[in-house]
Amino acid sequence: MKMVRKIAFANMKYHKSKNILTGIAIFLTTLLLYMVPTVGMALINGQFAMINELYPMWHGRYRELDSQIVEKLEVHHDIARYGLRSDVGKIKDTKAEVMLFYMDKECMDLCKIHLAEGRFPEKSEEIVVTKGILKEIGQQGNIGDTIRIPCQIYRNGGLDFAEEKQFVISGFLEDAEMEDENRTYSALVSKAFFENEIPKEQRVYRFFFQVKGTEKNILTDEIEERIENIALQFGIEEKQIKINNEYLAANYIDAAFVSIITGIMLIIVFAGIITIYSIYYVSMGERIQEFGKIKAIGATKQQIRQIVLWEGLAVAMIAVPITIIVGTVLAKSVFLGILKLYNDESFMVSTIDVLFEKNQVQIYYWWIYLLAIVVTFITVYISLHKPMRIMAKVSEMEAIRYQMGESGGRKKSKKGYRDITVGRLAKIYLSGNKKKSFMTITSMSATGIFLMVVATVLACATPEESANASLVGQYEISIADETGNKEHPEREWSNIQQYNPLTKELEDRIEQINGIKTVSAFSEMYVSLVDYENIREGILGIPEEYKDTLMDGIIEGEVTYEELCRGDKVIADQNLFRWYPDIALGDKLKLIVQDDDTSYEKTVEIAAIGDYPIGFTNFSFLLMAKDGVETFSEHNLHFYYHVLAEENYNEKVKMQLEEIIAETEFLQMRTWQQSYEEHKAALALTCGACYAFLGILGVICIMNMMNTMIHNVHVRKKEIGMLQAIGMSDTQLLYMLQIEGVFYTVGTLILSVGGGSILGHPVYQWAKQNGILNIRNYHYPVNAAIIVSVILFLVQIVLAVVIAKSVKKESLIDRVRFSE
């Protein structure tokens, strides 16, 4: 055994250049195996730590609950902790939105709401406010000071008439930057105030809670199931339930998340295995004679196998520890680099940074070290298995007679070319080394295919399309209505209809703005669904210019636009069935239409089911032709103006539209640009992480090609020397190497781009169905395909030049004399 190891180590030193190459490949692959999970886990940990820092910690929330259900829920055996919150009212007549709410201490704890100073309101007149609120209502005060607030209390399902209340400030909530930006604030009142102001039967609660039994390792799915089961027991509808997915994922085991991480790890392991296997396959096959000689002087098959194994393992034993040290240093820098990249753009990322400084984000895990080491050594062993068998099988005579490159050729003769050119020389070499070429191209393509599939998903996730899906046109002007506000009955849609500002004149004015192309008016009518507890839904009227969009969106059933103009047939958006699973295609829905001060019953048939973007439906589940909706009332039912402009964003146009909107309090506007910016910010981190992953895969792919090309020259050093001795010029050598490189490049590109394109489509469909990254339309990843092609070609060209130059480092005669 000692001798076996001695030979193996001597071999390792003798084939230094080859083993350095193999060592680099092992180094890079191990680095990936270590870095991807380490940096990935650090980012996930950072995100989870950020969630635990910023996000509320309730598991589930039920809303719109009455006192009776709350009392039952409080004693439910599956609920570990709970807190209550109720909206009490609003502060009247400020430009800002100031909500008065009551929340018990447990709920504040679950929602991570902390007082900046002072104490929780206990007496009826006590209130906790923010400095921002005082500024909005134009008052000043400190703890113990009295303030007077005109407010409207929620009673009978809406906001009651305004009344001025006197409060004593008992504390201040922390001012949040977002609240100031959006001018939406919350003030906390006491339980006593809440109970004094709102009669018990009119009280509506939000119930925040954690379920029991989460101490042990529990799946997020199980928690969700329990939340849904409790809801089912008390008849709480799906739309009243909110699950705190972010908190659950950060603190419990998410099966879907674990499978995604496992999938990514498997891909890296697979890429690593095929790369190292390919490298060993390419390098060991050429050493038959060397091992044959050892066998001829008496080594047994077992010993030969051990020599091959030990040599490979020795390289890994040097490469792996170096990788682990380098990886440990690099991981932290890469993680901090990613944070720095997005630090300015995202408050969440800057929170992760702060948490990292406080040592609350773990980067290093023993199991990742173990995984990287074990997988590398297993990979090296698997990769060495075949060369071990081949070397052990070689007969002594065969090995001694073996001339480099001749053993593979089982052919005794072949019909050759009449003339030999440099191109033909390359072709002959490649066709004579089919297995090696196949192995290289296959291993490179495997990473290439995955790269293309991920690139397809990323290409489909565009902030432009997400913005397009969330808004029709570049500007959406809509009615700002409010229901049940007694102080402002004029804000009821049924009232606005009578002096609807979305008139033909307004439409013309908007169309005359320079830069505006068209304005399309969508109508809306609110109706109550008689058979579904009189729940209010909107029926959206689609104008004729959007007829094609309406018809193209139908996924089930049949109806014409003309039929939809009659007002007795509707298309149901497929999301309707999530909330009303009992409704089916062909059902007749009984509606109560509230028109002006009167109401009447009407029946509509669900003639078709459609799939439309939110920007088109504006969350209305029932769609009709505009003329159809307008049969419901004699008033002007225009609810949305979808404005198409020449440019996606133009400051002047926006300002002009804002001026028009400011003329009335009943209009509001959303812009495409605003939606685009929101989606862009949301996509930035995901895309950044994915592109980093793709970059790493690209490095694996390129490393593989480098190895094969360098090896092809190394093992043919003598042959190339010979070719040069008989007159091959440096230019011809470079040309030959480039042809070989182009073969690998083109082969890899055909398989990667072809296979990636074929596999990319079903993955896109899966992503679309699961709502991943708001994907709606398929886009071929042209940029990725071009970048991958250009990089591969460039690398291959540079490699050929570098290799051709490196060949010249050794004198021609030394290469001609070279023997394995």
Partner 1 sequence: MHKIVEIKDLVKYYQTGENVVKAVDHTNLVIERGKFTAIVGRSGSGKSTLLHIMGGLDRPDSGEVWINGKNILELKDNALAKFRRRKIGFVFQDFNLIPSLNVWENVVLPLGLDGRKVNEQEIMQILEKIGLADKRDAMPSTLSGGQKQRTAIARALAGAPSIILADEPTGNLDSQTELEVMNFFKRCVSDMGQTLVMITHDETIAQMADEVILIEDGKVEVRS
Residue by residue, DSSP assigns 9-40 as: HHHHHHTHHHHHHHHHHHHHHHHHHHHHHHHH
32/35 Cα distance (integer angstroms): 5
Q: Which member of 2, 95, 415, 809 binds partner 1 (CB under 8 A)?
A: 415
DSSP state of 545: G
Name the minimum Å distance from CB 405 to partner 1.
Answer: 4
Q: Does 417 bind partner 1 (CB under 8 A)?
A: yes
Given 3, 232, 255, 420, the residue binding partner 1 (CB under 8 A): 420
Q: What's the min distance (Å) between Cβ of 294 and partner 1?
A: 21
Q: Residue 554 is inside which H or E element, if any?
A: strand 554-557
- Region near partner 1 per CB under 8 A, out of 341-349, 491-499, 647-655, 721-729: 721-729
Q: Is 820 in the site for partner 1 (CB under 8 A)?
A: no
Residue 144 makes contact with partner 1 by CB under 8 A: no
Q: Is there binding between residue 727 and partner 1 (CB under 8 A)? A: yes
One of 317, 348, 772, 812 touching partner 1 (CB under 8 A): 812
- Shortest Å, Cβ 711 to partner 1: 16
Q: Which of 118, 141, 150, 432 binds partner 1 (CB under 8 A)?
A: 432
694 binds partner 1 (CB under 8 A): no
**Nearest to partner 1 of 323, 724 (CB atom):** 724
Q: By CB under 8 A, tell whether 114 contacts partner 1.
A: no
CA–CA separation, 557 and 626 (whole Å):
20
Residue 245 CB-half CA count within 13 A: 5
Nearer to partner 1, 212 or 414 (CB): 414
Please state, in angstroms and rounded to a whole number, the distance separating the CA atoms of residues 597 and 494: 8
Shortest separation between residue 718's beta carbon and partner 1, angstroms:
7
Alpha helices by DSSP H, 234-287: 245-251, 255-284
Q: Does 558 bind partner 1 (CB under 8 A)?
A: no
Find, among 157, 267, 242, 128, the residue nearest to 528 by Cα. Answer: 157
- The pattern of x and - marking residues 754 through 793 that bind partner 1 according to CB under 8 A reads ----------------------------------------
Phi-psi label, residue 156: left if phi above 0, alpha if psi -120 to 50, beta otherwise: left
Q: Is 674 in the site for partner 1 (CB under 8 A)?
A: no
767-774, long-range: CB < 8 A, 24+ apart:
767/457, 767/460, 767/461, 768/460, 772/457, 772/461, 773/457, 773/458, 773/460, 773/461, 773/683, 773/686, 774/461, 774/465, 774/466, 774/469, 774/679
Contact 436, 282 (CB under 8 A): yes
Distance in Å, CB of 404 to partner 1, minimum: 7
Confirm or reject binding of residue 395 to partner 1 (CB under 8 A): no
Q: Is 632 helix (H, G, I), strand (E, B) or coil?
A: coil
Of 357, 419, 533, 651, the residue at the interface with partner 1 (CB under 8 A) is 419
Residue 422 binds partner 1 (CB under 8 A): yes
201 part of the interface to partner 1, by CB under 8 A: no
For tokens 């886009």, name the residue.
Answer: 779
- Of the listed pieces 308-316, 560-568, 588-596, 807-815, which binds partner 1 according to CB under 8 A? 807-815
Which residue's CB is nearer to partner 1, number 476 or number 740?
740
- Beta carbon of residue 395, minimum distance to partner 1 (angstroms, whole number): 15
To partner 1, the closest distance from the beta carbon of 295 in angstroms equals: 20
Asked if residue 323 lies in contact with residue 30, where contact means CB atoms within 8 angstroms, the answer is yes
531 binds partner 1 (CB under 8 A): no
The tokens for 156 are 């009978």
Q: Examine residue 731 and tell whether it contacts partner 1 (CB under 8 A).
A: yes
> Strand, coil or helix: what is 527?
strand
Q: Which of 80, 88, 97, 154 shows the shortest CA–CA distance to 127?
A: 88
On whether the CB atoms of residues 56 and 110 are closer than 8 A, the answer is yes
| Count of residues touching partner 1 (by CB under 8 A) | 41
Using CB under 8 A as the binding rule, whether residue 428 contacts partner 1 is answered as: yes
Cβ atoms of residues 795 and 703 within 8 Å? no
Query: At its nearest, how many Å lie between partner 1 and the CB of residue 724?
Result: 6
Name the token pair of 597: 């001060």
User: Which residue type, as a one-letter code, is found at position 598?
Assistant: T
Greatest alpha-carbon pair distance for the chain in Å reads 108
**DSSP reduced 3-state for 695:** helix
Q: Is 438 in the site for partner 1 (CB under 8 A)?
A: no
Residue 752 beta carbon to partner 1: minimum distance, rounded to whole angstroms: 28
E strand or H helix at 528 = strand 516-529
Only one of the segments 87-95, 366-374, 527-535, 728-736 lies at the binding site for partner 1 (rule: CB under 8 A); that segment is 728-736
| Strand boundaries in 743-817, DSSP class E | none
- The interface with partner 1 within residues 483-512 (CB under 8 A) comprises none
When the beta carbons of 201 and 419 are compared against partner 1, the nearer one is 419
418 makes contact with partner 1 (CB under 8 A): yes
Does residue 265 belong to the site contacting partner 1 (CB under 8 A)?
A: no
Q: Kindly state the tokens that stand for 572.
A: 């149901």
State which of residues 326, 513, 592, 816 lies at the interface with partner 1 (CB under 8 A).
816
| From candidates 240, 732, 757, 789, binder to partner 1 by CB under 8 A | 732
Q: Please pick, from the candidates 446, 637, 723, 753, the single residue that binds partner 1 as defined by CB under 8 A.
A: 723
728 binds partner 1 (CB under 8 A): yes
Cβ pair 749, 726 in contact under 8 A: no
Phi, psi for 100 (deg, rounded to 5):
-100, 130
Judged by CB under 8 A, which stretch of 40-48, 222-230, 412-420, 500-508 contacts partner 1?
412-420
Give least dist CB 18 to partner 1, A: 20
* Candidate segments 14-22, 158-166, 560-568, 724-732, binder of partner 1 by CB under 8 A: 724-732
Q: Applying CB under 8 A, which of residues 2, 216, 412, 809 lies at the interface with partner 1? A: 412
Q: Does 719 bind partner 1 (CB under 8 A)?
A: yes
Q: According to the binding rule CB under 8 A, does residue 619 interact with partner 1?
A: no
Q: Is residue 259 involved in binding partner 1 (CB under 8 A)?
A: no
| Contact window for partner 1 (CB under 8 A) among 36-44, 204-212, 421-429, 694-702 | 421-429
Q: Which of 402, 618, 397, 381 is nearest to 522 (CA)?
A: 618
CB within 8 Å of 365: residues ≥ 6 apart: 37, 38, 41
Q: What values do phi and psi take at 533, rounded to 5?
A: 50, 30
- Residue 572 pairs in a beta bridge with 609, 622
The Cα 119–Cα 528 span in angstroms is 44
> Interface with partner 1 includes 411 (CB under 8 A)?
yes
The amino acid sitting at 633 is S
Question: From CA 335, how far away is CA 338, in angstroms rounded?
Answer: 5
Question: How far are the Cα atoms of 295, 404, 429, 443 from residue 408, in angstroms, in the given order?
Answer: 20, 9, 12, 21
Please report, as ranges, the residues that interact with partner 1 according to CB under 8 A. Answer: 403-407, 409, 411-422, 424-425, 428-429, 432, 718-719, 722-732, 808, 811-813, 816
